[in-house]
C-alpha cells in the first residue's frame, strides 16, 4: 500500500510526548512491512539543520487561509527504503523556538498554523509522484486533513482516510472567529460540524470526516464514549462507534531495549539482571542520591508534569512513600505549580527524592533502567508508552487501571505467580499508596520479585502487531 501519515511531531526529529514515538515507529514499521510510506511534518526551527540533506520538491504549495493565500514549500528526505519524510516549510508560522507555544503559553495563531499545515499536506499530494491509498492523520493538529481531502481531492481520487485520537483532552479549540481560516461554507460550523459550545473544534473535523476512526488502546476507545472520559464529545463518539476502533500502540524496541540502549551504564537482559543494579547505582549517583542505599527500592517516573498523569497524587504521597522505605527518581516538566511542589519536596527529602525538571532523553532511559518500579497514576491514559518501556526494562509498573495502562499491565498474583505489575482503580493518594505498598511488599520477597520482573520482561508489545492492525483497517472496504 501507499500510505501517507500526518502528524505534528515524530522521533527522531521533534518530540514533546508519546505522539512523536508513535509517528516515528509506525512509519518505520509500515515501511519495514513492505509498504511505501510518506510522513508529513511541519518544518520547525529545531529541524532546520537536520534537513540540510532534504530535497526541495516544491516551493509553491499554495493554500487559502481565510482572506490570504499562503505559500509554503515541501522538502523530502529519504529515511529508509520505502520511507520518506516530507517537511512542510512556512517560516512565518513554524520558524519559532517552540512547537505549540513558548513559556507555558500556546501560540495565539495555532489554528492558522495547523490549518495551514493540514491544507498544505493535501495540496502537496499531487507533487509527490505517488498515488496514496491511505491518508492517516493524527490528533487535532492534523485533524483537518480528512475534511480538506474530502473537499479538495476526494471526487477525483479514491483513498481511505483514517484519523487517530491520541488524547481527547486536546481538541484544538479556538474562538469562533477563527472558523474563517478554514475557508469552509458557514454550514460547516454547526453542532453537526466543527462547532463545540460556540467555539471552533478542529478535532471534530477528524472525527466526522474520516472513514475510519481509531483511539490508541481498546480500553480508551470504550472509555471515550462515556461521560467520565468523553470530554464533551462522548455523544458524537458513541454515534461514530461503528467506525471507531482501538489499536494499542507498540513500543519501539529499537530505541527502548536494555540490551542495546546506548544511554545506560550497563546493558542487560533477563539473564543478566546484575547489570540492572549497575544502572541503579549510576542513576542514584546522577540524581545525587546516596549510592549506599542501592539495596532499597527506587520508584521512577518520567512524565509530563500535569494532572492527567496524577502528579498531584504523587506530590501528596511523597512523605508516605519515603516513610515506606522507597526513594523516588522523577523526571518531567509541565505545570509550574506542580513543578514547584515537587521541587519543595526534593528540598525536604534530598536523600530520597531525586528530581530533574526538564526534558532529558538520556535520563529518561536511565530511569527506565535504574529504577525498580515505575509509577503511572494517570487520571486517564489513552495508551501510555512508559509502562511498556518499563516492562521491557524489568522495571515493574504501578499504574492506575485506565486506558492503555489497563490493557498492558496485569496485576501480579502471588498465588499463580502471573501478572507483570501492580494496579489500582480509584484516583486517590490512598489507593495509589496501597498499590505501592503491595509492590514494596513483593519487592521484599525476592522469589516473587524476580518472578514479576521475568513476567514483565517477557511481554512483547512490539510495533509489528499494531502496524498489522492498522493495515487491516487501511485495507477493509
- Contacts with ligand ADP, residue ranges (CB under 6 A): 17-19, 21, 302-304, 331-333, 359-361, 364, 383-386
Q: How near is the Cβ of 256 to ligand ADP at its closest, in Å?
A: 8
Residue 216 interacting entry, from ligand GLC, ligand ADP, none, C-beta within 5 to 8 Å by type: ligand GLC
Q: Which of 1, 17, 57, 109 binds ligand GLC (CB under 6 A)?
A: 17
Identify which of residues 22 and 357 has a Cβ nearer to ligand GLC in the complex: 22
CA–CA gap between residue 43 and residue 35 (Å, rounded): 24
Beta-carbon neighbour count of residue 106 at 10 Å? 11
Residue 304 interacting entry, from ligand GLC, ligand ADP, none, C-beta within 5 to 8 Å by type: ligand ADP
Do the bridges between strand 199-201 and strand 173-174 make them parallel or antiparallel, or are there none, so unpaired? antiparallel
Identify which of residues 112 and 224 has a Cβ nearer to ligand GLC in the complex: 224
Residue, CB closest to ligand GLC: 18
Q: Grid coordinates representing 328?
A: 523516588
Residue 364 interacting entry, from ligand GLC, ligand ADP, none, C-beta within 5 to 8 Å by type: ligand ADP
CA–CA gap between residue 167 and residue 164 (Å, rounded): 9
Residue 278 interacting entry, from ligand ADP, ligand GLC, none, C-beta within 5 to 8 Å by type: none
Beta-carbon neighbour count of residue 109 at 10 Å? 15
- Matching residue, cell 510510506: 37
334 part of the interface to ligand GLC, by CB under 6 A: no
Q: Which of 202, 328, 383, 439 binds ligand GLC (CB under 6 A)?
A: 383
Q: 369, 286 in Cβ contact below 8 A?
A: no
> What are the angstrom distances between the C-alpha of 473 and each of 24, 157, 170, 239?
19, 19, 24, 19
CB under 6 A: which stretch of 324-332, 366-374, 381-389, 439-447 binds ligand GLC? Answer: 381-389
CA–CA gap between residue 140 and residue 156 (Å, rounded): 26
Q: How near is the Cβ of 364 to ligand GLC at its closest, in Å?
A: 14
- Matching residue, cell 476512526: 213
Task: Reduce the DSSP state of residue 185 to 3 states and report it.
Answer: coil
> What are the angstrom distances between the C-alpha of 19 and each of 117, 140, 141, 385?
17, 12, 11, 10
Identify which of residues 17 and 64 has a Cβ nearer to ligand ADP in the complex: 17
String of DSSP letters for 355-375: EEES--HHHHHHHHHH-SEEE
Residue 429 interacting entry, from ligand GLC, ligand ADP, none, C-beta within 5 to 8 Å by type: none
Q: How near is the Cβ of 369 to ligand ADP at its closest, in Å?
A: 12
Q: Which of 166, 280, 365, 392 binds ligand GLC (CB under 6 A)?
A: 166
Identify which of residues 224 and 383 has a Cβ nearer to ligand GLC in the complex: 383
Q: Which of 3, 5, 18, 247 binds ligand GLC (CB under 6 A)?
A: 18
* Measured CA angle at 470 (ends 259, 146), to 5 deg: 125
Q: Which of 384, 394, 397, 419 binds ligand GLC (CB under 6 A)?
A: 384
Q: Which residues contact 144 (CB under 8 A, 6 or more apart)?
A: 114, 115, 118, 119, 182, 202, 205, 206
CA–CA gap between residue 374 and residue 242 (Å, rounded): 36
Task: Reduce the DSSP state of residue 62 to 3 states and report it.
Answer: strand
Residue 386 interacting entry, from ligand ADP, ligand GLC, none, C-beta within 5 to 8 Å by type: ligand ADP
Identify which of residues 17 and 66 has a Cβ nearer to ligand GLC in the complex: 17
Residue 141 interacting entry, from ligand GLC, ligand ADP, none, C-beta within 5 to 8 Å by type: none
Q: Interaction with ligand GLC in 167-186: which residues (CB under 6 A)?
A: 167
CA–CA gap between residue 275 and residue 430 (Å, rounded): 34
Identify which of residues 178 and 390 has a Cβ nearer to ligand GLC in the complex: 390
381 part of the interface to ligand GLC, by CB under 6 A: yes
Beta-carbon neighbour count of residue 337 at 10 Å? 11
Q: Which of 37, 137, 207, 216 binds ligand GLC (CB under 6 A)?
A: 216
Q: Which of 128, 326, 329, 385 binds ligand GLC (CB under 6 A)?
A: 385
Identify which of residues 251 and 298 has a Cβ nearer to ligand GLC in the complex: 251
CB under 6 A: which stretch of 149-157, 182-190, 382-390, 458-466 binds ligand GLC? Answer: 382-390
Residue 332 interacting entry, from ligand ADP, ligand GLC, none, C-beta within 5 to 8 Å by type: ligand ADP
String of DSSP letters for 407-457: HH--B-BTTTTB-SBEEE-S-SHHHHHHHHHHHHHHHHSHHHHHHHHHHHH
Identify which of residues 19 and 125 has a Cβ nearer to ligand GLC in the complex: 19
Helices 429-444 & 311-323 angle (0-180, nearest 10): 40
Q: How near is the Cβ of 30 to ligand ADP at its closest, in Å?
A: 19
Q: Which of 308, 296, 352, 297 is nearest to 332 (CA)?
A: 308
113 part of the interface to ligand GLC, by CB under 6 A: no
Residue 243 interacting entry, from ligand GLC, ligand ADP, none, C-beta within 5 to 8 Å by type: none
Q: Which of 287, 351, 288, 352 is nearest to 317 (CA)?
A: 352
Binding site for ligand GLC (CB under 6 A): 17-19, 22, 166-167, 216, 249, 381-385, 404
Amino acid at each position: 500500500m501507499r500510505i501517507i501519515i500526518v502528524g505534528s511531531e515524530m522521533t527522531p526529529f521533534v518530540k514533546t510526548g508519546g505522539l512523536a514515538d508513535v509517528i516515528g515507529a509506525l512509519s518505520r514499521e509500515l515501511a519495514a512491512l513492505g509498504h511505501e510510506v510518506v510522513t508529513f511534518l511541519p518544518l520547525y526551527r529545531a529541524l532546520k539543520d537536520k534537513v540540510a540533506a532534504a530535497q526541495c520538491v516544491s516551493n509553491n504549495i499554495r493554500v487559502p487561509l481565510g482572506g490570504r493565500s499562503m505559500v509554503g514549500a515541501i522538502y523530502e528526505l529519504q529515511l529508509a527504503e520505502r520511507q520518506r519524510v516530507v517537511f512542510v516549510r512556512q517560516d512565518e508560522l513554524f520558524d519559532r523556538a517552540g512547537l505549540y507555544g513558548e513559556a507555558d503559553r500556546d501560540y495565539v495563531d495555532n489554528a492558522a498554523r495547523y490549518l495551514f499545515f493540514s491544507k498544505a499536506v493535501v495540496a502537496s499530494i499531487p507533487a509527490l509522484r505517488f498515488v496514496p491509498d491511505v491518508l492517516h492523520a493524527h490528533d487535532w493538529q492534523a485533524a483537518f486533513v480528512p475534511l480538506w481531502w474530502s473537499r479538495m481531492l476526494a471526487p477525483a481520487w479514491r483513498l481511505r482516510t483514517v484519523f487517530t485520537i491520541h488524547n481527547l483532552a486536546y481538541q484544538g479549540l479556538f474562538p469562533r472567529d477563527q472558523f474563517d481560516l478554514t475557508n469552509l461554507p458557514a454550514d460547516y460550523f454547526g453542532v453537526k460540524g466543527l462547532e463545540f459550545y460556540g467555539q471552533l473544534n478542529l478535532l471534530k473535523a477528524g472525527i466526522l470526516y474520516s472513514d475510519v476512526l481509531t483511539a490508541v488502546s481498546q480500553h480508551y476507545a470504550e472509555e471515550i464514549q462515556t461521560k467520565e472520559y468523553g470530554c464533551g464529545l462522548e455523544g458524537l463518539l458513541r454515534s461514530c462507534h461503528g467506525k471507531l476502533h482501538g489499536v494499542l500502540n507498540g513500543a519501539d524496541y529499537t530505541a527502548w531495549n536494555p540490551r542495546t540502549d546506548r544511554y545506560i551504564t550497563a546493558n542487560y537482559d533477563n539473564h543478566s539482571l546484575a547489570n540492572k543494579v549497575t544502572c541503579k547505582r549510576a542513576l542514584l549517583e546522577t540524581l545525587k542520591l546516596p549510592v549506599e542505599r542501592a539495596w532499597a527500592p527506587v520508584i521512577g517516573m518520567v512524565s509530563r508534569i500535569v494532572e492527567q498523569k496524577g502528579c498531584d497524587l504523587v506530590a501528596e504521597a511523597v512523605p508516605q512513600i519515603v516513610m515506606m522505605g522507597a526513594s523516588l527518581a522523577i523526571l518531567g516538566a509541565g505545570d509550574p505549580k506542580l513543578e514547584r511542589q515537587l521541587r519543595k519536596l526534593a528540598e525536604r527529602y534530598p536523600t530520597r527524592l531525586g528530581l530533574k525538571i526538564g526534558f532529558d532523553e538520556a535520563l529518561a532511559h536511565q530511569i527506565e533502567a535504574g529504577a525498580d518500579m515505575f509509577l503511572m497514576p494517570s487520571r486517564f491514559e489513552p495508551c501510555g508508552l512508559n509502562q511498556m518501556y518499563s516492562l521491557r526494562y524489568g522495571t515493574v509498573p504501578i499504574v492506575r487501571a485506565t486506558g492503555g495502562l489497563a490493557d498492558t499491565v496485569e496485576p501480579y498474583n502471588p498465588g499463580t505467580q502471573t501478572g507483570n505489575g501492580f494496579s489500582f482503580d480509584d484516583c486517590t493518594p490512598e489507593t495509589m499508596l496501597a498499590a505501592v505498598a503491595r509492590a514494596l511488599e513483593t519487592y521484599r520477597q525476592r522469589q516473587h520479585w524476580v518472578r514479576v520482573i521475568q513476567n514483565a520482561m517477557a511481554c512483547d508489545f512490539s510495533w509489528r502487531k499494531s502496524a498489522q492492525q492498522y493495515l487491516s483497517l487501511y485495507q477493509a472496504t
